[in-house]
């Protein structure tokens, strides 16, 4: 019996999205379950295992047909040991999730940071491994990144590379060294955009989103998209400001790293990329060292939530097949 299937799991703070991928790089099954972080690490493991079992039952397969389970985690992880050093959204620290999962399955388990995994998926499945020096930046609740040099994922000395969201910037989005300034994700993430909108609403500025904030509802990217399409000036101003901040930071990063490709993803870009990308590129061109902009391609991934799922293909090749 051939082991030609893999399972990739995108482990988020609220949901676990698992996919079964065949030898033709096709997603042939998906399962979504709650993470239940508030119940502790035992329940996180229980729900991961449950998602694997559901995929197996749904497709009538056994462990013998699956060559790897690949897990994307929102935090600092050591892919060699299987230890989650720190994942705040999961309330996990110094936790060997690989060893815990091995108690319930005979399938080899590999772990990776979630944006690194998404970057691997984009590089392999969307770009056909053709890119050399690339940054992948996901804009959502926070901001995460992945770096590729000479076609290979760069994890850093302590597996922290790519954490672009923690770069310090000033209020205008320019890279800064001041202790009093903000992190990049505090200026351009969905959380930052929504916080800015809420401050404007307290100043009695008019917005379609007034009812959502007064009712205590969470403002998601699709709500921002709808308000933007309806010409909401408050939302448009904060999305524009976030776009300019993104462009400035990416310009500084490219000046340092001489990238040739920047891929943007995440809920904010997925919902409002058509509005944001031109503004990001304009800001980028003003910020990057003159001349470098001519050689950099900036665009949004088309894979959406599937990007980290496809990343399991590349992670399996690296750790199981030595490619």
Q: What is the pLDDT of residues 78-118, one digit of tens each?
A: 999 999 999 998 999 999 999 999 999 999 999 999 999 99
**Percentage with pLDDT > 70 across the chain:** 95
- CATH number belonging to the domain at 129-303, selected among 3.30.565.10, 3.30.420.40, 2.30.30.790, 3.40.50.300: 3.30.420.40
Q: Span 125-154, mean pLDDT?
A: 95
Cα distances from 63 to residues 5, 52, 106, 161, 316, in angstroms, run 10, 10, 7, 33, 16
Beta-bridge mates of residue 6: 21, 68
| Whether residue 173 has pLDDT greater than 70 | no
Burial string for 136-161 (b: 16+ CB within 10 Å, else e) reads: bbbbbbbbbbbbbeeeebebeeebeb
Residue pair 128/48 in contact (Cβ under 8 Å)? The answer is no
Identify the sign of the CA torsion 59, 267, 205, 165. positive
| Whether residue 171 has pLDDT greater than 80 | no
pLDDT-derived band at 289 (thresholds 50, 70, 90) equals very high
| Whether residue 2 has pLDDT greater than 80 | no
Write down the H helix ranges in 60-81. none
pLDDT-derived band at 218 (thresholds 50, 70, 90) equals confident
Q: Span 160-180, mean pLDDT?
A: 79
Task: Give the pLDDT score at 178.
Answer: 65
What is the CA angle 200-202-203, rounded to 5?
65
Measured distance between the N- and C-terminal CA atoms of the chain, rounded to whole angstroms: 23
Task: Give the pLDDT score at 219.
Answer: 87
| CA atoms within a 13 Å half-sphere pointing along the CA-CB vector of 264 | 26
Of 205-209, 210-214, 300-304, 313-317, the least confident = 210-214
Taking all residues of the chain, what is their mean pLDDT, rounded to a whole number? 92
For 297, phi and psi rounded to 5 degrees?
-100, 130
Task: Give the pLDDT score at 175.
Answer: 72
The C-alpha atoms of residue 58 and residue 80 are separated, in whole angstroms, by 31
| Whether residue 286 has pLDDT greater than 70 | yes
| Whether residue 121 has pLDDT greater than 90 | yes
Task: Give the pLDDT score at 322.
Answer: 72
What are the sequence ranges of the domains in the chain?
A: 5-107, 129-303
The C-alpha atoms of residue 314 and residue 320 are separated, in whole angstroms, by 10
CB 65: neighbour CB atoms within 10 A? 16
The C-alpha atoms of residue 88 and residue 76 are separated, in whole angstroms, by 9
Task: Give the pLDDT score at 321.
Answer: 77
Q: Span 111-138, mean pLDDT?
A: 95
Task: Give the pLDDT score at 204.
Answer: 85
| Whether residue 1 has pLDDT greater than 70 | no
pLDDT-derived band at 53 (thresholds 50, 70, 90) equals very high
**Percentage with pLDDT > 90 across the chain:** 83
pLDDT-derived band at 32 (thresholds 50, 70, 90) equals very high
Short-list 214, 115, 213, CA closest to 223: 213
Beta-bridge mates of residue 11: 16
Q: What is the DSSP letter of 305?
A: G
The predicted-structure confidence for 305-318, as pLDDT tens digits, reads as follows 899 999 999 999 99
State the burial class of residue 177 (Cβ atoms within 10 Å of its Cβ: 0-12, 13-18, 19+): exposed
Higher-confidence residue: 28 or 215? 28
pLDDT-derived band at 214 (thresholds 50, 70, 90) equals low
| Whether residue 212 has pLDDT greater than 80 | no
Angle, helices 267-287 vs 190-202, to 10°: value is 90
| Whether residue 242 has pLDDT greater than 80 | yes
pLDDT-derived band at 210 (thresholds 50, 70, 90) equals confident
Domain 5-107, what fold? Nucleotidyltransferase; domain 5 (3.30.420)
Q: Span 253-273, mean pLDDT?
A: 96
């Amino acid at each position: 019996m051939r082991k030609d299937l893999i399972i990739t799991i995108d482990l988020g703070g609220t949901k676990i999205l698992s996919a079964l991928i065949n030898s033709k790089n096709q997603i042939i099954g998906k399962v979504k379950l709650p993470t239940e972080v508030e119940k502790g690490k035992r329940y996180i493991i229980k729900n991961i295992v449950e998602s694997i079992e559901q995929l197996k039952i749904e497709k009538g397969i056994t462990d013998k047909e699956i060559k790897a389970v690949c897990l994307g985690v929102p935090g600092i992880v050591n892919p060699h040991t299987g230890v989650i050093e720190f994942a705040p959204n999961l309330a996990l620290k110094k936790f060997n999730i690989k060893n815990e999962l091995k108690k319930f399955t005979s399938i080899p388990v590999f772990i990776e940071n979630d944006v690194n995994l998404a970057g691997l998926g984009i590089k392999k499945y969307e770009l056909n491994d053709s890119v050399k020096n690339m940054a992948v930046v996901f804009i959502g609740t926070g901001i995460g990144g992945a770096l590729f040099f000479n076609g290979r994922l760069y994890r850093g000395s302590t597996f922290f590379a790519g954490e672009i969201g923690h770069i310090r910037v000033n209020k205008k989005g320019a890279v800064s060294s001041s202790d009093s300034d903000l992190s990049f994700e505090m200026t351009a993430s969905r959380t930052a955009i929504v916080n800015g909108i809420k401050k404007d609403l307290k100043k009695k500025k008019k917005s379609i989103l007034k009812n959502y904030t007064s009712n205590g509802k969470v403002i998601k990217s699709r709500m921002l998209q709808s308000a933007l399409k309806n010409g909401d000036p408050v939302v448009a101003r904060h999305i524009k400001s976030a776009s300019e901040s993104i462009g400035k930071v990416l310009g500084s990063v490219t000046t340092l790293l001489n990238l040739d490709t920047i891929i943007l993803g995440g809920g904010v870009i997925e919902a409002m990329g058509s509005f944001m990308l031109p503004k990001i590129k304009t800001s980028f061109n003003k910020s990057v060292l003159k001349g470098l902009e001519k050689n950099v391609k900036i665009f949004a991934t088309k894979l959406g939530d599937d990007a980290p799922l496809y990343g399991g293909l590349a992670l399996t090749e690296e750790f199981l097949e030595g490619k």
